Every structure is written in C-alpha cells, then in structure tokens.
Amino acid sequence: MPIPGTKRRTYLDENVGSLDVELTAAELAELNALSELVVGDRYPGNAGIEGLASRSERVG
C-alpha cells in the first residue's frame, strides 16, 4: 500500500516516528489558533488540525 511522502525507507521511518510525538493541550490550542490563519481550500474548515487533535486523543 503506497504511503504519500514515503518514497524511500528513510522517509517511512520518519513518518512512523511521528507517532511518538505527543502534543500538550496548550500546543494543540496554539495550532488550532494558527490554523485559522490558513488561506485557501486545501483544508476546508481547519479539518487538518481538528483531525490531528482527534487522532492524538485516540492514539495517546
């Protein structure tokens, strides 16, 4: 199964390593505030940051 951004084994190791990153509630709040500054339609409704918060709570 292809994983975007994972052309080489090194990149796969980096991507898997990101699962060990833990953000505090304050860090998530800061990212959510910053996400409102994003312009464009790539991530409508700040879906990227909200999805990150939900995923970290499920994984954590």
The pLDDT value given to residue 14: 85
pTM: 0.48
Cα–Cα distance for residue pair 14/24, rounded to 1 Å: 21
The pLDDT value given to residue 36: 82
| One pLDDT digit (tens) per residue for the chain, 60 residues | 677 767 888 888 888 888 899 999 999 999 888 888 877 776 555 555 555 555 445 444
Question: Per residue in 9-28, is it b (16+ CB within 10 Å) or e — as a string?
Answer: eeeeeeeeeeeeeeeeeeeb
The structural domains of the chain, with segments of one domain joined by +, span 22-59
